[in-house]
Amino acid sequence: MKAMTLLLLLFLTACRPAHTEENKVQKKFPDPITIRIGESSTDFGKRFPNLVNINQQPAGINFYDLDVDYLGQQVTVHVEHGKHSLDIPFSIGTTGLEDGRYLSEGISKITVFAGFSAPEKDTDEHARQYINSLLQQFRAKGWQPLFYYDAPRLRGQEQFDYVVTKPLLPLDGEMDLSPHNWQRIDWIASPYWMFYADNVFAKIEFDRSPTWEDPKQPGTGLLTIDFQSMESYLRSEIEEKDRANWRAFWPAKAKWYR
């Protein structure tokens, strides 16, 4: 997971357009930025003229990047999803994904990024409070925590005590992180939370650099939130060779979720 995060950061850097300093100054992202799962890439591009960076891959996967950090900004990302709409503050960019094999689905996955810098003495506490505020907002807007079917039927502190030793399982999104629990988390294992609301899945993940708590070295933290349409998410859980007929294979896979 750490390797994937580093690759993602490298990808975002590599995909930055060759802006000159002159047009870099002239451009500015709106605040807030509004994103919608399922929006067509054409409409998305029209809403962000000269700001979206398009990266088309030979395999038919297209990426649509809004590199807010490149222009020295932080913005609020408004995730438009009816009564489940959310506002993600301090965002440094987004990446949308469109699968050319399923163009009718539009942009089926969007990742929102928020960055933190250390070693300011209050950065760790700020990150904890920021994540708690996101969890509270998800719950208030009607998003339901998602758990794997074979996970023990535990909630709250009991669930945390179990999952903190099983890093492949999601943490309970119904419980905020106390300072004590925050310190118990194995951040190398990339802990995460999963939610669901009205045909959209969301995954929250926070990664810290190895130097995060070292006052003598620069450290960074990256929070990512993946929003993905239900159809795209369920299809991605099926082996690539079977995805053309993924619905036939899903009932056997569904037993792993509750």
Measure Cα distances from 197 to 97, 121, 142, 200 in Å: 20, 36, 7, 5
Q: Which residue has the tokens 């029209």?
A: 46
What pLDDT sits at residue 22? 44
Angstrom distance (rounded) from CA 187 to CA 194: 17
pLDDT in tens, 181-238: 999 988 877 789 999 999 999 999 998 877 777 777 777 888 999 999 998 988 888 8
Residue type for 73, please? Answer: Q
203: enclosing H helix or E strand: strand 200-208
Check whether the bond before 17 is cis (ω within 30° of 0): no
Residue type for 35, please? Answer: I
What six digits make up the tokens of 165? 């030793």
What pLDDT sits at residue 168? 75
pLDDT in tens, 84-102: 999 999 999 999 999 988 8
Measure Cα distances from 159 to 162, 175, 197, 240 in Å: 5, 10, 22, 33
What pLDDT sits at residue 7? 37
User: Which letter does DSSP use for residue 178 in this model?
Assistant: P
Q: Is 18 helix (H, G, I), strand (E, B) or coil?
A: coil
Q: What is the DSSP string of 107-155?
A: EEEEEEEEEEEE-STTHHHHHHHHHHHHHHHHHHTTPEE--BTTS-S--
pTM: 0.84
**176-208 burial, b for 16+ CB within 10 Å, e for fewer?**
bbeeebbeebebeebbbbbbbbeebbbbbbbbb
Angstrom distance (rounded) from CA 88 to CA 106: 22
Check whether the bond before 145 is cis (ω within 30° of 0): no
Radius of gyration for the alpha carbons in the chain, expressed in angstroms and rounded: 19
Strands 33-35 and 86-99: unpaired
Q: Decide: 102 and 232 in contact? Cβ < 8 Å.
A: yes
Residue type for 143, please? Answer: W
pLDDT one digit per residue (tens) for the chain, 258 residues: 444 443 344 334 444 444 444 444 457 899 999 999 999 999 999 999 889 999 988 878 999 999 998 888 899 999 999 999 999 999 999 999 999 888 999 999 999 999 876 555 567 888 899 999 999 999 999 999 988 766 777 888 988 888 888 767 888 999 999 999 999 988 877 789 999 999 999 999 998 877 777 777 777 888 999 999 998 988 888 887 777 777 877 777 666 554
224: enclosing H helix or E strand: strand 219-229
What pLDDT sits at residue 257? 55
182 CB-near residues (< 8 Å, 6+ apart): 124, 128
Q: How far apart are the first and last CA of the chain?
A: 24
Mean pLDDT of the chain: 83
